[in-house]
Amino acid sequence: MVTIYDVPADALIEAVAARLEDRIDEPDWVEFTKTGAGKELPPEQDDFWYVRSASLLRKVAQNEPIGIERLATEYGSKKRGSNRYVVRPGEHESGSRKLIRASLQALEEEGLVTTAAGEGRRVSDEGEAFLSEVASEVLEDLDRPELERYA
């Protein structure tokens, strides 16, 4: 059985994002929102919502139970002021909690993530099966000889 640890993260996230486009809906406000206080502009990717949701699903599966605060810290960046004037050292700014919360709620409605009271989010059994299925397909599609031992 192939798990999320057996395939490269970027290939897994792309495949999960492609599958999530059919399963979850993108909110209207996503194209206007920034990904955190350390950013000046919203992301330019057309499928940003699905890629971020896939990445969140993978992170929850790896670090469960995990809360929104910790996820916001992991998706944060350095805030250095504007692009024109860098006058002091950068400080870490958290990622957008609203974006993370909305994405996790969409995954929860789909049945891929569950809330553990007082602990954070966990991947449900259906979510685990979904990730394993996508990981096995990604492993079959990869043309990397060093990963053949996992098949």
For residues 14-19, average pLDDT: 92
What mean pLDDT is predicted for residues 124-142? 88
C-alpha separations of 98 from 72, 101, 104, 118 in Å: 9, 5, 10, 19
Structure tokens at 20: 């999530």
Instruction: Using CA atoms of 77, 83, 87, 91 in order, give the dihedral in degrees to the nearest 10.
Output: -10
Tens of pLDDT along 58-106?
A: 999 999 899 988 988 888 887 776 666 666 677 888 888 889 999 999 9
Coil/strand/helix, residue 80: coil
Q: What are the extents of the domains in the chain?
A: 9-142
Q: Model pTM?
A: 0.84
Which residue, 4, 137, 119, 138, is CA-closest to 58? 4
For residue 18, which amino acid is it? A
**Given 1.20.140.10, 2.160.10.10, 3.40.50.720, 1.10.10.10, which CATH number is that of 9-142?**
1.10.10.10
